[in-house]
Structure 1
Amino acid sequence: MSTLAKRNYGTLNNLFEEVFGGFPAGNFAKELHVPAVNVKENKEAFELEVAAPGLQKQDFKLNVEDNLLTISYEKQTTAEQKSEDTKIHRQEFSTRSFKRTFTLDEKIDADKIVAKYENGILSVSLPKKEEVKISPKAIEIL
């Protein structure tokens, strides 16, 4: 089984195990207040989809260092939120900061990682290096 990354919370477990079995990723994400992540693979790249509705793209940070991809979010406070003209009677929703770290597999070309935020989903494309892309090939029968 190929691996994209490993979860970095104490012990390192295979990301695909987290998403597809073994560890209940959805409940784990809720308990830690981190968004859920979908992982997809095609012949060109791995794709991460981070569920982050209602957030602002300028508050996201993505970094790659020492073969670790870190996706973090920290809400910047604005003067509008601290207005003395408005009295808040009840505040039931808030945005919390989060940080997720993934160990990148040697098959990923870290220099070509791209991300976009659209419709509440942060999409991160992790292209595979040229030598590991699987191309269809016909095999001649002798």
Structure 2
Amino acid sequence: MSSKVPSDKNDPKKPKTEAFGELMKSMNDFFNEKPIKGFLQSMDDFFKSPFPSGSSFHVDTIETGGEYIISAELPGIKREQIHLNISGNYLTISVENNEFETEEDEINHLYRRKYLRQKSSRTISLPHTINEEKVKASYRDGLLKIRLPQEKGKIIDIED
């Protein structure tokens, strides 16, 4: 017997790296061809912006040692269009835009009325009931800032 290992390419004991490469190529082709590619792209687009443009706004909540600072980016919004509502431990920021347009063309006898209403809101949940008397809000250059003091509950000692 010879101690030499046969170099036959068709040896069933030898692992086939080419088969793995073919499998990977087939999987890449599957995910990069339509309709799968279009489906995966639409899922990526959804998670990049799950809400239609203009229907929501960005809100940040920061917790400092003694207060919560909530910031909402509202560019182009007037102060009168912003409404804040506090209910228990929930703060709701609502923005509402109502426009009414009327166009009249006497020469062609055309009359057109358009009523546009856009509403958007975000609700922030906090771990304690909000004391509305201590809430402070300011709006400057498209940035709404709301300051809420952190309330400390009563600490109860446990007896032996």
TM-score scaled by length of structure 1:
0.55
Q: Counterparts of 1:26 and 1:45 in 2: how far apart (Å)? A: 31
Q: What amino acid is aligned across from residue 117 of structure 1 in structure 2?
A: Y
| Alignment of 1:50 onto 2:72 | yes
Aligned length: 98
Q: Counterparts of 2:69 and 2:50 in 1: how far apart (Å)? A: 21
| Alignment of 1:36 onto 2:58 | yes
Q: Tell me: CA distance 1:121–1:45, structure 2 relative to 1, closer, same or farther (3 Å).
A: same
Q: Which has the higher contact order (CA 8 A, sep 6+)?
A: 1
Q: Counterparts of 1:64 and 1:44 in 2: how far apart (Å)? A: 19
Secondary structure of 1:58 counterpart: helix
Whether the 8 Å CA contact 2:89–2:129 is kept in 1: the answer is no
Whether the 8 Å CA contact 2:95–2:121 is kept in 1: the answer is yes
Secondary structure of 1:74 counterpart: strand
Please say which structure displays the higher CA radius of gyration: 2
| Alignment of 1:63 onto 2:104 | no
Normalized per residue, which structure has more strand?
Answer: 2
Residue 58 of structure 1 and its aligned partner are, at CA, apart by 0.8
Residue 62 of structure 1 and its aligned partner are, at CA, apart by 0.4
Q: Counterparts of 1:62 and 1:26 in 2: how far apart (Å)? A: 28
Q: Tell me: CA distance 1:32–1:56, structure 2 relative to 1, closer, same or farther (3 Å).
A: closer
> Unaligned stretches of 5+ in structure 2?
1-46, 106-115, 154-160
Query: Residue by residue, what CA displacement relative to the aligned partner does 1:33-78 show, whole Å, maximum 9, x if unpaired?
Result: 210112212112111111110000111110111322111011133x
Secondary structure of 1:82 counterpart: strand
Percentage identity across aligned positions?
Answer: 25
Secondary structure of 2:123 counterpart: strand
Secondary structure of 1:111 counterpart: helix
